[in-house]
Amino acid sequence: MPSQIKDMSVTDLVRLFKENAVTASDCAHLCIDVQKIYDNLSTATHIADKINPVFNQLGICNYLIFQAYEVNENGLPFGSSAFNQVRPFPGDKIVRKTRSSAVGGSNIDTLLKENNSRLVAITGFAFGQCVKQTAEDIQKGQYGYHTVIFTDGVNRDPSHYSLQDEMAKKGIVFTSSQNFFEALQKIETCRSKPLLPVQPDPRI
């Protein structure tokens, strides 16, 4: 059965941003489980490599989160010489987690508070486990972030529709990355900083 929750429209997102006085500088992006072992399992994280440059242009910090109980001297999981297609940009922060949820198993809450973030956009793998647990934890009163999941940035399938409905009842917003960026452009504080065409990749 299809989810009863539709992507939040640009108009409703603009209203959400304005009602909560959220600007681009209040936002952060969490990309969950970017370790190379999932490269062939998840098509969802691949979109992050396309939208991360847009976050960068808006001054929004990307946090690339990988799960590892042990890491090598470079801080990467053993057996992983690189990330999957979500490769870090200059300024991106790399965060290690040791549990399914990125909140309880890492220092992400401290990093978000240091950056004065109030709204967290989430992409990554896997929707029914690590994405769900991170989104629900970060939405709770203990942390209190506005939480948005990009429906084009997670690996949903029909078996996840009931989970999506449950999460929406907890206040988690679902929308597309395109709607999110269009809404940011429409709020007053972003009009002076319009989105530009994606610039040449500085990592090449």
Does residue 200 lie within any of the structural domains? no
Pair 33, 67: CB distance under 8 Å: yes
Q: What's the pLDDT tens digit per position in 106-128?
A: 888 999 999 899 999 998 877 88
pLDDT of residue 131 exceeding 80: yes
Does residue 104 lie within any of the structural domains? yes
Query: Residue 49: which pLDDT band, with cuts at 50, 70 and 90?
Result: low
Unique residue bearing structure tokens 């917003």: 173
pLDDT of residue 166 exceeding 80: yes
Query: Residue 9: which pLDDT band, with cuts at 50, 70 and 90?
Result: very high
Query: Residue 83: which pLDDT band, with cuts at 50, 70 and 90?
Result: low
Domain of 20, in residue numbers? 10-70+79-189
Host H or E run for residue 159: none
Q: Which residues of 68-85 are buried (b: 16+ CB within 10 A; e: fewer)?
A: beeeeeeebbeebeebbb
Sequential DSSP letters for 99-131: SSSTTTTSSHHHHHHHTT--EEEEEES-IIIII
Does residue 172 lie within any of the structural domains? yes
Query: Residue 175: which pLDDT band, with cuts at 50, 70 and 90?
Result: very high
Q: In CATH, what number is assigned to the domain containing residue 183? A: 3.40.50.850
pLDDT of residue 64 exceeding 90: no
pLDDT at 197: 43
Overall domain count for the chain:
1
pLDDT at 85: 57
Does residue 33 lie within any of the structural domains? yes
Does residue 3 lie within any of the structural domains? no
Q: What's the pLDDT tens digit per position in 67-76?
A: 655 555 666 5
Side-chain-side CA neighbours of residue 153 (13 Å)? 29
Q: Does residue 84 sit in helix, strand or coil?
A: coil
